């Protein structure tokens, strides 16, 4: 078992840190939100007043933060953690950020002999709670092998996508596809309902047909069709529209840099931006269904 510091206890990081505690690791947590910290402490984690104090004595530091600027703020600069961590401390960042930012942090970590892995996740809050996340890692083989047993306490599928930044590239591709299929699923459900179909029946039909997909299987966007998903609790919790927009922005920027055409991804980005602009930024991303007026 390892001594682990976990920073960023939001919708994803909270349940991920909780699974590390349950697996028997010695976990110290830190977040700007006192409530988030208190929840983990009640489950057996330790805490400290600052990220630096929390990281003292850690064999491994894991971050799960909203965006690249938060990751840079925690790790870089004179006040950043990289300047304070001892050589050899394993650092894993599971936030979804740009491949360039991940490579930049990795470069500075390596200069200080700190092994760094970008390890963004897929599987949503449900996967974080169940400990069945997919981790998509970028970094060298040695670092990946060191991190794998720790990641296995929080996830089921652990992939090594390639060198630094590769985890983020794969994650960005995945989330662009997720946005496209969630918008497409919402559109198909709305069309069926306009024709008088029961959304639950239509969902079951499409699930067992060639339109079957992850949204229909585990994250149905139509209110009341599936229990325990954000659509059935007013789209609260889950994966926020604002975070999906961040990821679609990362995909768009990356496509521009690499001269890649992403017409479907661009359309999805515009739909989600429109949706956020209508005051839905802090709802779960499956609320894109509301653009098609189900309620």
CB nearer ligand NAD, residue 108 or residue 122:
122
From residue 189 to residue 228, the character string flagging contacts with ligand NAD as x (rule: CB under 6 A) and all else as - is: ----------------------------------------
Task: Compute the least distance from the CB of residue 93 to ligand NAD, in Å.
Answer: 9
- 3-state SS record for the chain: CCEEEEECCCCCHHHHHHHHHHCCCEEEEECCCHHHHHHHHCCCCEECCCHHHHHCCCCEEEECCCCHHHHHHHHCCCCCHHHCCCCCCEEEECCCCCHHHHHHHHHHHHHCCCCEEECCEECHHHHHHHCCEEEEEECCHHHHHHHHHHHCCCEEEEEEEECCCHHHHHHHHHHHHHHHHHHHHHHHHHHHHHCCCCHHHHHHHHHCCCCCCHHHHHCCCCCCCCCCCHHHHCCCCCCEHHHHHHHHHHHHHHHHHCCCCCHHHHHHHHHHHHHHHHHHCCCEHHHHHHHHCCC
**17 lines the binding site for ligand NAD (CB under 6 A):** no
CB nearer ligand NAD, residue 11 or residue 254:
11
Binder to ligand NAD among 4, 9, 27, 166 (CB under 6 A)? 9
Whether 247 and 269 have beta carbons less than 8 Å apart is answered as no
CB nearer ligand NAD, residue 56 or residue 70:
70
From residue 234 to residue 273, the character string flagging contacts with ligand NAD as x (rule: CB under 6 A) and all else as - is: ----xx---x---x--------------------------
Task: Compute the least distance from the CB of residue 209 to ligand NAD, in Å.
Answer: 26
By CB under 6 A, the count of residues binding ligand NAD is 29
CB nearer ligand NAD, residue 34 or residue 259:
34
Distance of CA 221 to the CA centre of its chain: 19
Whether 19 and 154 have beta carbons less than 8 Å apart is answered as yes
Task: Compute the least distance from the CB of residue 195 to ligand NAD, in Å.
Answer: 32
Binder to ligand NAD among 4, 12, 58, 119 (CB under 6 A)? 12
**32 lines the binding site for ligand NAD (CB under 6 A):** yes
**280 lines the binding site for ligand NAD (CB under 6 A):** no
**73 lines the binding site for ligand NAD (CB under 6 A):** yes
Residues with catalytic roles: 171
**40 lines the binding site for ligand NAD (CB under 6 A):** no
**What tokens were used for 283?**
């709802």
By CB under 6 A, name the binding residues for ligand NAD: 7-13, 30-33, 36, 51, 64-66, 70, 73-74, 95-96, 121-122, 124-125, 238-239, 243, 247
């Amino acid at each position: 078992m390892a001594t682990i510091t976990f920073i960023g206890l939001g919708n994803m990081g909270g349940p991920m840190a909780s699974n590390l505690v349950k697996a028997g690791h010695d976990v110290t947590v830190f977040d700007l939100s006192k409530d988030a910290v208190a929840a983990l402490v009640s489950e057996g984690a330790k805490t400290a007043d600052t990220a630096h104090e929390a990281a003292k004595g850690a064999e491994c530091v894991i971050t799960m933060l909203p965006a690249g600027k938060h990751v840079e703020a925690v790790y870089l600069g004179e006040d950043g953690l990289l300047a304070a961590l001892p050589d050899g401390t394993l650092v894993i960042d599971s936030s979804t950020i740009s491949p360039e930012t991940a490579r930049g942090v990795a470069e500075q970590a390596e200069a200080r002999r700190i092994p760094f892995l970008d390890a963004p996740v897929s599987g949503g809050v449900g996967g974080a709670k169940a400990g069945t996340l997919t981790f998509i890692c970028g970094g060298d083989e040695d670092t990946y092998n060191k991190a794998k047993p720790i990641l296995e306490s929080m996830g089921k599928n652990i992939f090594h996508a390639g060198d630094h930044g590769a985890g983020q590239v794969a994650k960005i591709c995945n989330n662009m596809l997720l946005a496209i299929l969630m918008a497409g699923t919402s559109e198909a459900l709305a069309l069926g309902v306009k024709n008088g179909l029961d959304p639950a029946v239509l969902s079951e039909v499409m699930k067992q047909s060639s339109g079957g997909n992850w949204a229909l299987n585990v994250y149905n966007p139509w209110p009341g069709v599936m229990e325990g998903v954000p659509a059935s609790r007013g789209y609260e919790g889950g994966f926020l529209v604002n975070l999906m927009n961040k990821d679609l922005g990362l995909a768009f920027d990356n496509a521009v840099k690499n001269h890649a055409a992403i017409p479907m991804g661009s359309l999805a980005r515009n739909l989600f931006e429109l949706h956020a602009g209508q005051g839905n930024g802090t709802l779960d991303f499956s609320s894109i269904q509301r653009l098609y007026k189900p309620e």
